[in-house]
Amino acid sequence: MEGLKLDTRKEMKIYDPALCCPTGLCGVNIDPELMRIAVVLETLKKKGVVVERFNLRDNPQVYVDNKTINDCLMNESADVFPITTLDGEIVLKKAYPTNAQISEWLDVPESELIIKK
């Protein structure tokens, strides 16, 4: 049986607020939501799904160059982050997508978004 065929034509991007690191492991208090999203995105990348994640602190030019994201930043302030886009359209603001949302948007079984032991 061949490996799972995923729809790699869809493109999901997450625009984070200014973070010191993408996993939440850099501070005293570990943020489980940052850890979850980092693991899910890494899992998707390994399966060939196009997902990108940007950090306002490390990639400010990306936020300036993307008109949709720049408009949100200018009109709503940095409090609007994180923002998730799917094929260039904003699908979520002020929160990270749940595994169920990612599963639906990318046509990936939710069971494929978790690390199997």
| Preceding amide of 82 cis, omega within 30 | yes
CA distance 10 to 106: 6
Q: What is the pLDDT of residues 62-108, one digit of tens each?
A: 999 999 999 999 999 989 999 999 999 999 999 999 999 999 999 88
pLDDT, residue 117, reads: 52
Comparing CA positions, the residue from 115, 95, 97 lying closest to residue 44 is 115
Beta carbons within 8 Å of 59's beta carbon, 6+ residues apart: none
CA distance 24 to 20: 8
Q: What is the pLDDT of residues 22-62, one digit of tens each?
A: 665 666 677 788 889 999 999 998 888 889 999 998 899 99
Q: Which domains does the chain have, with CATH numbers?
A: 11-109 (3.40.30.10)
CA distance 45 to 24: 19
pLDDT, residue 86, reads: 94
DSSP 47: T
